[in-house]
Copies of this chain bind each other. A is one copy, B any other.
Amino acid sequence: MNLDKYKPENLKRISKGMINIHPIQRGGILTQDARKILLDWADGYSTCDICLEGRVDLLKNPPVDDFKRDLAEFLKMDDIRFTAGARHAKFVVMKAYAKDGNVIVLDSLAHYTSYIAAELNNLRVYEVPNTGYPEFKINPENYAEVFEKVKEETGKYPTLALLTHVDYRYGNVADVKEVGKICRDYNIPLILNSAFGAGLMEVRGKDLLIDFLICSGHKTWSATAPIGILATNYDYVDVVFKKSEIRGNWSGRAFTKKEIAFFGCSPVYGLPLVTLMASFPTVVKRVKKWDEEIKKARWFVREMEKIEGIRLLGERPKKHTLLHFESPTFHMIAKKHKKRGYFLYHELKKRGIIGVQPGMTKSFKVNVYGLSWKELKTVVDAFKDIAEKYGIGVED
């Protein structure tokens, strides 16, 4: 067993010092304030020096209990729990509705973890179609259609619905409120997976007529992984934050304060939760500047589309910073290049840019959130430079 590879000098992050445009990285970069608390809170169970109630969400020092209230106010929801990522939050909600034969309706752009959470709880999945190439949009009214289809095919309406606020494939922003209205009409609880939304964009849960709001701290709240936020309204608190009822048959031991689907006490004790708190004041401010981010994203799209063959996929005009481009011209180059599809990755890396999936050239995704205009220009220039190097046309 050679242990040298785990030495600090060998555990270097490949993106260090580069512009990282990986779709999942931009919103997770720690704030300066979060960086300041790292050394104090990075040890194991750091949040748990004084735990009086056996639940991390009830801690007074650090002020997690207060933080829950502030977060609830910020998200305009009633109550909050923390989870091991948005994926765990989805599991928690669906667990409360797990029963053989029950159906969840979700949009066909949903993150894979939404499907897996359903599978883990034996829920049958019905998908709401999208409009296909090139926009791949979800039409809210299709939710009603699929609800009716479920009724027809299974004899009852679905138990749950899930909508992906910002999908990870095209960065489309869903019309949440319209879906919310339909779900209210049918009396079907609606989960909003806002893993790419809240934390960057302002999200006011009750205004959107949603019942569960799920956020990803490491994806878009500048927190250390893993940390998810699960917000709900009073109607659902007892159902979803269900407490333990088990009892030892010999000892009589019971754990009546522990919440089952969070494994008793959610495994977020420690740094992930504290970085989420430390970044929170910055997040509260930055969501107000979302328009500026969209302006940058749209400029980026215009510049990228000056490269022959490059074309944005997903809705127009663009409403998010996660961008998916089809790139048949790069793909043509890849077919003849000795590095094959990896040439684009390597060419970008040489220019100090990382985050495009190695091997991908037919289409590729980037996220420009939080890049300065200067960095944005560096990225555009790099793509144009690579195009020109391989004889792909670039408009002036």
Contacts and interface: CB of A to CB of B under 8 A. Distances in A.
A239 interface: no
A372 interface: no
A226 B24 contact: no
A277 B358 contact: no
Interface in A1-28: 1, 3, 5-8, 11-16, 20, 22, 24-25, 27-28
A396 interface: no
B120 A261 contact: yes
Given A87-B264, A127-B249, A44 B116 contact: no
Interface string A20-55: 101011011110011111111111111011111000
Contacts of A253: 108, 112, 115
Given A44-B218, A63-B5, A224-B271, A35 B39 contact: yes
Given A7-B33, A11-B37, A125-B248, A263 B49 contact: no
A62 B7 CA distance: 12
B24 A8 contact: no
A270 to B, nearest CB: 3
A116 B267 CA distance: 13
Q: How large is the interface on A (under 10, 10 to 19, 20 to 34, 35 or more residues)?
A: 35 or more
B12 A267 contact: no
Copies in the complex: 2
B6 A277 contact: yes
B263 A87 contact: yes
A116 B246 contact: yes
A275 to B, nearest CB: 7
**Most interface-central of A62, A116, A268, A357 (chain B CB within 10 A):** A116
A245 to B, nearest CB: 7
A116 B42 contact: no
A322 B357 CA distance: 47
A15 B62 CA distance: 11
Given A44-B224, A120-B95, A226-B84, A36 B8 contact: yes
Nearest to A264: B116
Nearest to A67: B6
Contacts of A234: none
Contacts of A16: 40
Contacts of A34: 42
Interface of A: 1, 3, 5-8, 11-16, 20, 22, 24-25, 27-30, 33-46, 48-52, 61-63, 66-67, 70, 73-74, 84-85, 87-88, 91, 95, 108, 112-113, 115-120, 125-129, 217-219, 222-226, 228, 244-246, 248-251, 253, 255, 258, 260-261, 263-265, 267-272, 274-275, 277-278, 280-281, 284, 354-355, 357-359
18 contacts: A1-B74, A8-B37, A11-B277, A14-B61, A24-B45, A27-B44, A52-B358, A52-B359, A85-B263, A88-B263, A91-B263, A113-B263, A115-B255, A116-B246, A119-B244, A120-B260, A127-B249, A224-B224
